[in-house]
Every structure is written in structure tokens, then in C-alpha cells.
Structure 1
Amino acid sequence: MKAVTELAGRGVRAALVSTDEFATWEEPVSWWPRLETGVLEPLRAGAPGVYRRVDWSSGVPLPGEEIEIDVPDVLVLEGVSSGRARIRPSLSLLVWLDGGSETELLDRGAGRDGEESRAELRRWQLFERGWFAVDGTRTAADHVVHASGP
């Protein structure tokens, strides 16, 4: 599957890579080398990037389809750890999305993924709290966006 689109007919080719396509409950951020070697390094060299998406459709993470990313004009990295200290020197812009309180986020996640995922989502939240504190992601952000609602 190819993952580059044109932005609103403006001739700007953009690609979106979500960390959700790499992360699992057991591997929340340690997958980063796969993103670097499969996507970031090839794109920097002017070559297409390739990665295998994690498929969650069965409720457990399994290897999914292969995604090819042609060299875009703009690459958007989205999700937990996409603004990590290691990549910041290469970023043009870092945006932090404040999605609400931990309780609101947990309820929204369980509503989306099913009540049976609540314990894993809570464990994930606790990991995120520590990750962001150590990494300093929010304080390094160029912009903080406060989102509200579902």
C-alpha cells in the first residue's frame, strides 16, 4: 500500500506515519529503530521508505500489511514518541496535543477499543506519563493544542 497524498490540490505531497502502526502494549516505544531504518533514513536519502504496519483487528498485535512511502514534500509523524528527543533536531515543528485529563482519555480509549482494553490502556497511560516527563516532549513543543470533546 502506498501512503503519500496530495494536500488539497496544492501540489504538496504529504505522508502521514502514525506511531500506532508500530507500537504494541509490550513495545510502546522501543520499535523506533524500525521507523528510522525503514522510513526516515531512506526518505532522507531520497528513496522510498517501507514498514510493516501492526494489525490490531484481532485485538492482539500481529504483523500487518507492508506500507510504502514515496518521498514526500512533507512528512508528518504522529503519536506517542514522535517528538522524542532523538528526532527533534530533524523536526520542522513539534506540536503537543493536550487531549484532556487521564480519566477523560482513559474513558475515551476504552469507549473506542472496548472496556476489556481498559487495564492495558491504563498501563499505557502510566508509561506515557513517565516517558514524557523524562523526554521533556511537552516543554520542547513549538505549539500546544488543547483539544476537548470526544
Structure 2
Amino acid sequence: MLARVRAERARIVAIDGPSGSGKSTLADALVRAWPGHAPELVRLDDAYPGWNGLERAGAEMSHALVARRARGKAGRWRRWDWVADRAGAIEHSLPGRTLIVEGCGAFAAVESGDAVGVWIEASDRLRKHRALARDAGGFDPYWDQWERQWRRYVARTAPARRADVRLRVADA
């Protein structure tokens, strides 16, 4: 009940969890089902500054996007050009519209009492299979590297305990 009440007033929804757990699928479904004006969706996959950028993306989003919007100013964030392996375009986000931040480390990006935090998880076997199949081999050489920094983030911040809503994806 508390999560529903908070969601009705929330201006920000953060969807966090490990790679391959279903965060993007849930975010897409939420955008489609949102009543009225659809929320803005920012995917951390578009903003991580390279394969070692999980923590940095959260800190940058918190400061430049979320905090600025909370003060009534336009937020911004920088895309990462994965092909060129360098910083890309700066994106802008106007306040007033609900914001969904989705990705590994989303709770670090959204440190706000007005946010609803959704934690989604799946078995290690299922999520690794999904993540590696999704990126057609592009993620394969980086899986262990990403997983190590993901586990450091979880050990340091205990994000699942901060969630308003917890979802567990069952193995098929």
C-alpha cells in the first residue's frame, strides 16, 4: 500500500537490479501503461562511461540530472558512445514530467524521498544467459568485469533493502 501511495505522488521511479534481470523490459512496460502523459525514460546503459562506469554514472546522474530537476531546473546527462568508446552527446531533461531511471545502479542515481525504488532480480544463471544473448556477443568479454563492479555496488549500498517494491523473476 505504501508503495502505491508513493507511486501516485512520485516524480521519479528508479528501477535497479543486476544485468539481465528484466529492468529494461519492466521500464518499457511501465512507460506503455503509465496513465496520462508518458514519463521520460533514461537508461543508464546509455550513460555508463565505459565498462568501468557503473558507480560514476550513478553519481553523475544524481548530481546533473536528478538534483537539478528537483530544484526546478533542466537536468542533463551525457550519453556514452559505445562504438567509439568515448563521451557522446549531452541530453537534457525538463522538470515537471515523471522520470524513470533504469539500470544497474539506478538507486545511486536517485537519492530522493520522492522516488519510488523498484528492485528486480533473477537467478545468476538466467540473468547471465539473458544479458549475453541480448548483446549478440558484445557483452561477453566484459561480463566478469561488470559483475565485479556490480557486486561492489551491492556490497557498498545494499540497494535491495532500499526498495519500495521487490520483484523476483522466476527461471523458465
> Would the TM-score normalized by the shorter structure come out above 0.5?
yes
Measure, in 1, the Cα distance between the counterparts of 2:155 and 2:76: 31
TM-score, normalization by structure 2? 0.67
For the pair shown, which has the larger CA radius of gyration, 1 or 2?
1
Sequence identity percentage: 19
- 2:103 pairs with 1:103: no
- 2:134 pairs with 1:112: yes
Query: What residue identity is the alignment partner of 1:114?
Result: A
Which residue number corresponds to residue 78 of structure 2? Answer: 52
Cα 1:36/1:130, change in 2 over 3 Å: closer
Deviation (angstroms), 1:133: 2.6
Which residue number corresponds to residue 69 of structure 1? Answer: 93
> Which one has a larger percent helix, Structure 1 or Structure 2?
2
Measure, in 1, the Cα distance between the counterparts of 2:70 and 2:92: 15
Q: Report the count of equivalent residues.
A: 141
**Which SS does the other structure have where 1:90 is aligned?**
coil
Gaps of 5+ in 1: 1-5
Verify the 8 A CA contact 1:97 1:146 in the aligned structure 2: yes
Name the Cα RMSD after superposition.
2.8
Cα 1:103/1:8, change in 2 over 3 Å: closer
TM-score, normalization by structure 1? 0.75
Aligned with 2:167 (options 98, 121, 145): 145
**Which SS does the other structure have where 2:106 is aligned?**
coil
Query: What residue identity is the alignment partner of 1:21?
Result: D
Which residue number corresponds to residue 43 of structure 2? Answer: 18
Measure, in 2, the Cα distance between the counterparts of 1:10 and 1:111: 32
Structure with greater contact order relative to length (CA < 8 Å, sep ≥ 6): 2
Measure, in 2, the Cα distance between the counterparts of 1:16 and 1:102: 26
Verify the 8 A CA contact 1:7 1:14 in the aligned structure 2: no
Gaps of 5+ in 2: 1-30
Cα 1:22/1:9, change in 2 over 3 Å: closer
